[in-house]
Amino acid sequence: MSTDLKVVSARLHRVRMPLVHAFRTSSHRKTFLDHIVVELTDASGATGWGEIASSSDPFYAPETVETCWHIAERYLLPAVLGATWEHPEQVSARWAKVRGNQFAKAGVDMAVWVLWATVRGRSLAAALGGTRSDVVAGVSLGIEPTIDDLLAEVEHQVAAGYPRVKLKIAPGWDVEPVRAVRAAYPELDLHVDANGIYTAADLAHLRQLDEYGLTMIEQPFGPRDLLTHAALQRTIGTPVCLDESIETVDDLETALALEALQVLNIKVSRMGGLTAARAAHDRAQDAGLRVWCGGMHEFGIGRLANVALSSLPGFTLPSDVSASEKYYARDIVEPAVVAVRGVVQVPGATGLGHTVDRALIAANTVDELALGPEQE
């Protein structure tokens, strides 16, 4: 009997979910998200779920929901449908000639991994080689209208038990909020994320952040500006963390060669999937970097993939895998992802480990596409 898998039909659901708290970064503000839920079905009727967690606008990464839909429909799903395979890595290899488009690839790759884990009767974490049964979560806080609003938000999250807080910064909202939060919480594990808004002209300004005992400064400069990240790292004690700059393991090699980082934020979406995210983890671990798992305000499916990835041994810093309730009144997985004193359990059950709420997905779907033999 063959152990091969074959996806026989695929469905894309564009799902719209309101955020419980508006989120603002140096590049955009959002009150709801449209993510694309990917549903793959194999010949035995098993389902693999994935999530394309692209922002709507090309301000974090070049992709949008529309480009992801196009790439998935036109290039990725055709590479998956009807092919036989034994391991998820063989599936992503089939679209290797598609350049970039990491978010689109990540959502389809995730669905393939979840299908594989489900059919093999393993948890996603175990399938990936995870070793932890729980992971530590931090929170990422957006730019607030006032410092008092920010302090109230920090207080709320610290009271909820999160042991690490990341603050979004931008010109005009950097040293002052950091000073205020540090004064109120002298011992808090605190870091900042600029989403690439600064330039080399801001080097002296950013060095002022060195006195606040931050765990890291995440992506101060543009994604391609590795040289300025290296220049900052040479002149401050605070570790520099890269996010947007690292879309492939090759990018990581270059950044390592330039000594442009001491910490790596690994996002499943930005790396183009779980296979690539795991490869980045392995390389970062070899290089002695500290690693954590970043997030894109994922719905439950992408969130559980982040939790599974965070169970790998190299993820030693708190990850942006906060509980569902921080983002959504009701999540598309059942039960929702919960954090108890900032700790999230890694599901041990098969596949994603939580049930996907098809009714909630259907109720929030604004566009849908089915692909498979019956549509051809």
Size of the site for ligand OSB (CB under 6 A): 11
List all residues 6 or more positions away from 74 whose beta carbon is below 8 Å from its beta carbon: none
Among 349, 360, 376, smallest CA distance to 127 is for 349
Calculate the alpha carbon distances from 181 to 21, 142, 188, 191, 239 in Å.
20, 14, 9, 11, 19
Pick between residue 42 and residue 193 the one whose CB is nearest to ligand OSB. 193
Touching ligand OSB, residues 304-323 (CB under 6 A): 320, 322
List all residues 6 or more positions away from 371 whose beta carbon is below 8 Å from its beta carbon: 9, 10, 11, 12, 73, 77, 78, 81
Interhelix angle 300-310/102-120, rounded to 10 degrees, is 70
Residue selected from 220, 239, 294, 314 as contacting ligand OSB according to rule CB under 6 A: 294
Residue selected from 102, 118, 140, 269 as contacting ligand OSB according to rule CB under 6 A: 140
Pick between residue 117 and residue 296 the one whose CB is nearest to ligand OSB. 296
**Shortest distance in whole angstroms from residue 245 CB to ligand OSB:** 11
| Residue 60 binding: pick among Mg ion, ligand OSB, none (C-beta 5-8 Å cut-off by kind) | ligand OSB
Touching Mg ion, residues 135-194 (CB under 5 A): 193
**Shortest distance in whole angstroms from residue 241 CB to Mg ion:** 8
Pick between residue 103 and residue 116 the one whose CB is nearest to Mg ion. 103
Pick between residue 295 and residue 347 the one whose CB is nearest to ligand OSB. 295
Q: Residue 239: helix, strand or coil by DSSP? A: coil
* Catalytic one of 105, 166, 168, 326: 168
Touching ligand OSB, residues 327-346 (CB under 6 A): none
**Shortest distance in whole angstroms from residue 346 CB to ligand OSB:** 17
The answer to whether residue 296 forms part of the interface with ligand OSB (CB under 6 A) is yes
Phi, psi of 164 (to 5 degrees): -140, 140
168 is catalytic: yes
The whole-angstrom separation of Cα 170 and Cα 281 is 28
The whole-angstrom separation of Cα 158 and Cα 161 is 5
Residue selected from 34, 89, 153, 243 as contacting Mg ion according to rule CB under 5 A: 243
CB-nearest residue to ligand OSB: 295
Choices 81-89, 111-119, 123-131, 288-296 (CB under 6 A): range interacting with ligand OSB:
288-296
As a dihedral over the C-alpha atoms of residue 331, residue 334, residue 340, residue 345, rounded to 10 degrees, the angle is: -120
The number of beta carbons lying within 10 Å of the beta carbon of residue 31 is 11
Using left for φ > 0, alpha for ψ between -120 and 50, and beta otherwise, residue 121 falls in left
**Shortest distance in whole angstroms from residue 118 CB to ligand OSB:** 25
CB-nearest residue to Mg ion: 243
Among 162, 163, 161, 169, smallest CA distance to 142 is for 169
30 is catalytic: no
Size of the site for Mg ion (CB under 5 A): 3
Touching ligand OSB, residues 72-131 (CB under 6 A): none
Task: Write 182-190 long-range contacts (CB < 8 A, 24+).
Answer: 182/212, 182/213, 184/151, 184/154, 184/155, 185/154, 185/158, 188/154, 188/158, 188/164, 189/138, 189/163, 189/164, 189/165, 189/215, 189/318, 190/164, 190/165, 190/166, 190/214, 190/215
Pick between residue 140 and residue 215 the one whose CB is nearest to ligand OSB. 140
Cβ contact 230:258 at 8 Å: yes
Pick between residue 42 and residue 320 the one whose CB is nearest to Mg ion. 320
Residue selected from 243, 247, 251, 331 as contacting ligand OSB according to rule CB under 6 A: 243
Residue selected from 35, 164, 281, 297 as contacting ligand OSB according to rule CB under 6 A: 297
* Catalytic one of 105, 166, 267, 326: 267
Cβ contact 293:284 at 8 Å: no
Pick between residue 217 and residue 371 the one whose CB is nearest to ligand OSB. 217
**Known catalytic residues?**
168, 267
Binding residues for ligand OSB (CB under 6 A) = 60, 140, 193, 195, 243, 294-297, 320, 322
Give the footprint of Mg ion on this chain (CB under 5 A): 193, 218, 243
